[in-house]
Amino acid sequence: MILLNNSIHCKEPEIKVHDEVFFKENFQDEEYSSKEKFICRSCNFFITMPSFNYYIDGSWEHFFTNPAHKFFHVRTFKRAPGCLTWGQYTLEYTWFKNIPWIYAFCGNCNAHLGWHYSYMDQEFFGLIADELKYIIEGDEL
Ligand SMILES: [Zn+2]
Protein backbone atom coordinates (compact mmCIF):
# COMPACT_ATOMS: atom_id res chain seq x y z
CA MET A 1 0.00 0.00 0.00
CA ILE A 2 1.16 3.49 -0.83
CA LEU A 3 0.92 6.14 1.87
CA LEU A 4 0.45 9.79 1.09
CA ASN A 5 0.62 12.89 3.19
CA ASN A 6 -0.62 16.39 2.62
CA SER A 7 2.82 17.76 1.81
CA ILE A 8 3.44 15.47 -1.13
CA HIS A 9 5.47 17.22 -3.81
CA CYS A 10 5.36 15.80 -7.28
CA LYS A 11 4.17 16.94 -10.68
CA GLU A 12 3.33 13.43 -11.84
CA PRO A 13 1.14 11.59 -11.38
CA GLU A 14 -1.89 13.78 -11.17
CA ILE A 15 -3.65 14.35 -7.85
CA LYS A 16 -7.33 15.21 -7.85
CA VAL A 17 -9.52 16.01 -4.88
CA HIS A 18 -13.27 15.80 -5.28
CA ASP A 19 -14.61 17.73 -2.34
CA GLU A 20 -18.07 18.71 -1.23
CA VAL A 21 -17.89 22.11 -2.92
CA PHE A 22 -17.19 20.35 -6.19
CA PHE A 23 -20.06 18.05 -5.40
CA LYS A 24 -22.56 20.83 -4.64
CA GLU A 25 -21.61 22.73 -7.76
CA ASN A 26 -21.91 19.75 -10.05
CA PHE A 27 -24.93 17.82 -8.91
CA GLN A 28 -28.63 18.31 -8.39
CA ASP A 29 -29.87 19.42 -5.00
CA GLU A 30 -32.20 16.47 -4.70
CA GLU A 31 -29.30 14.08 -5.08
CA TYR A 32 -27.25 15.98 -2.58
CA SER A 33 -30.03 16.15 -0.03
CA SER A 34 -29.98 12.40 0.59
CA LYS A 35 -29.50 11.70 4.29
CA GLU A 36 -27.92 8.34 3.52
CA LYS A 37 -24.16 8.60 3.20
CA PHE A 38 -20.96 6.62 3.19
CA ILE A 39 -18.22 8.18 5.28
CA CYS A 40 -14.58 7.30 5.88
CA ARG A 41 -14.27 4.71 8.65
CA SER A 42 -11.06 6.33 9.88
CA CYS A 43 -12.07 10.01 10.08
CA ASN A 44 -15.84 10.26 9.29
CA PHE A 45 -15.23 12.44 6.21
CA PHE A 46 -18.04 12.38 3.65
CA ILE A 47 -17.09 10.08 0.75
CA THR A 48 -20.18 9.15 -1.27
CA MET A 49 -23.79 8.02 -0.98
CA PRO A 50 -25.89 4.96 -1.85
CA SER A 51 -27.70 6.82 -4.65
CA PHE A 52 -24.40 6.91 -6.53
CA ASN A 53 -24.15 3.15 -6.69
CA TYR A 54 -22.94 2.03 -10.08
CA TYR A 55 -23.88 -1.26 -11.66
CA ILE A 56 -21.17 -3.03 -13.58
CA ASP A 57 -21.16 -6.71 -14.42
CA GLY A 58 -24.69 -6.80 -13.02
CA SER A 59 -24.01 -5.50 -9.52
CA TRP A 60 -22.57 -2.73 -7.37
CA GLU A 61 -21.27 -5.33 -4.88
CA HIS A 62 -18.16 -7.23 -5.92
CA PHE A 63 -15.89 -9.77 -4.26
CA PHE A 64 -12.28 -10.10 -5.31
CA THR A 65 -9.01 -11.58 -4.18
CA ASN A 66 -5.84 -9.72 -5.09
CA PRO A 67 -2.56 -11.35 -6.22
CA ALA A 68 -1.41 -11.37 -2.57
CA HIS A 69 -4.50 -13.45 -1.71
CA LYS A 70 -6.16 -10.65 0.23
CA PHE A 71 -9.96 -10.66 0.01
CA PHE A 72 -11.89 -7.49 -0.86
CA HIS A 73 -15.57 -6.65 -0.75
CA VAL A 74 -15.81 -3.75 -3.19
CA ARG A 75 -18.78 -1.47 -3.90
CA THR A 76 -18.92 0.51 -7.12
CA PHE A 77 -20.04 4.15 -7.23
CA LYS A 78 -20.49 6.52 -10.15
CA ARG A 79 -19.21 9.37 -7.96
CA ALA A 80 -17.22 9.62 -4.76
CA PRO A 81 -16.67 13.35 -4.19
CA GLY A 82 -14.80 12.78 -0.92
CA CYS A 83 -12.07 10.75 -2.62
CA LEU A 84 -8.66 11.86 -3.72
CA THR A 85 -7.24 9.91 -6.64
CA TRP A 86 -3.60 9.25 -7.27
CA GLY A 87 -1.49 7.42 -9.80
CA GLN A 88 -1.36 6.66 -13.46
CA TYR A 89 -4.06 4.45 -14.89
CA THR A 90 -2.94 0.88 -15.35
CA LEU A 91 -4.52 -2.38 -16.49
CA GLU A 92 -2.25 -4.41 -14.22
CA TYR A 93 -4.36 -6.83 -12.13
CA THR A 94 -7.52 -4.89 -12.92
CA TRP A 95 -10.70 -6.47 -11.54
CA PHE A 96 -12.91 -5.05 -14.28
CA LYS A 97 -12.10 -6.33 -17.73
CA ASN A 98 -10.12 -3.85 -19.84
CA ILE A 99 -10.77 -0.98 -17.41
CA PRO A 100 -7.63 0.64 -15.98
CA TRP A 101 -7.44 1.89 -12.39
CA ILE A 102 -5.66 4.32 -10.10
CA TYR A 103 -5.66 4.51 -6.30
CA ALA A 104 -8.44 6.28 -4.38
CA PHE A 105 -7.86 7.72 -0.91
CA CYS A 106 -9.91 9.60 1.66
CA GLY A 107 -9.68 13.30 0.75
CA ASN A 108 -9.27 14.15 4.41
CA CYS A 109 -7.08 11.53 6.13
CA ASN A 110 -5.58 9.81 3.05
CA ALA A 111 -6.71 6.33 4.12
CA HIS A 112 -6.66 3.98 1.15
CA LEU A 113 -10.33 3.48 0.27
CA GLY A 114 -10.11 1.72 -3.07
CA TRP A 115 -9.63 2.53 -6.72
CA HIS A 116 -10.93 4.77 -9.47
CA TYR A 117 -11.61 3.19 -12.87
CA SER A 118 -11.78 5.01 -16.17
CA TYR A 119 -12.02 3.86 -19.74
CA MET A 120 -13.63 5.70 -22.64
CA ASP A 121 -16.98 7.03 -21.38
CA GLN A 122 -17.00 4.67 -18.39
CA GLU A 123 -15.86 6.09 -15.06
CA PHE A 124 -16.48 4.86 -11.52
CA PHE A 125 -14.99 4.17 -8.12
CA GLY A 126 -14.52 0.73 -6.57
CA LEU A 127 -14.42 1.31 -2.82
CA ILE A 128 -13.59 -1.21 -0.09
CA ALA A 129 -16.77 -1.83 1.90
CA ASP A 130 -14.89 -2.27 5.20
CA GLU A 131 -13.23 1.15 4.84
CA LEU A 132 -16.57 2.98 4.70
CA LYS A 133 -19.29 3.50 7.28
CA TYR A 134 -22.92 3.80 6.23
CA ILE A 135 -24.84 6.48 8.10
CA ILE A 136 -28.21 8.13 7.99
CA GLU A 137 -27.62 11.78 8.70
CA GLY A 138 -29.03 12.73 12.05
CA ASP A 139 -28.18 9.35 13.57
CA GLU A 140 -25.32 8.96 16.01
CA LEU A 141 -22.02 8.11 14.35
ZN1 LIG B 1 -10.62 9.62 6.19
Write down the pLDDT at residue 141: 52
DSSP state letters, 17-82: E--HHHHHHHS-HHHHT-SEEEEETTT--EEE-GGGB--BTTBSEEEEE-TT--EEEEEEES--TT
For ligand 1, the distance from its centroid to the CA atom of residue 12, given in whole angstroms, is 23
Residue 92 lies in a domain: yes
Instruction: Measure 39 CA to ligand 1 centroid, in angstroms.
Output: 8
Report CA(64)–ligand 1 centroid distance (Å): 23
| pLDDT tens column, 110-140 | 999 999 999 998 999 999 999 999 999 776 5
Q: Output the CA 134–ligand 1 centroid distance in Å.
A: 14
* Residue 136 placed within a domain: no
Which of 65-68's residues contact partners 24+ apart within 8 Å by CB, and which partners?
66/93, 67/93
Of the pLDDT bands very low, low, confident and very high (cuts 50, 70, 90), residue 31 is low
Domain count, the chain: 1
Per the domain annotation, does 138 fall within a domain? no
Domain that holds residue 10: 2-29+52-130
Overall average pLDDT of the 97-116 stretch: 95
Residue 41 maps to a domain: no
CATH classification of the domain holding 103: 2.170.150.20
* Within a domain: 43: no
Q: What SS3 class is residue 122?
A: strand
- The predicted model scores a pTM of 0.77
pLDDT at 34: 72
| Spatial contact of 77 and 96, defined as CB atoms under 8 Å apart | no
Of the candidate ranges 34-38, 93-97, 123-127, the one whose mean pLDDT is the lowest = 34-38
Structural domain contains residue 84: yes
- Residue 35 in domain: no
Question: What pLDDT was estimated at residue 26?
Answer: 53
Q: What is the pLDDT of residues 3-25, one digit of tens each?
A: 444 333 333 334 444 555 555 55
Amino acid at 58: G
36 inside domain: no
Cα of 110 vs centre of ligand 1, distance in Å, is 6
- 129 SS3 class: helix
Residue 76 phi, psi (nearest 5): -105, 135
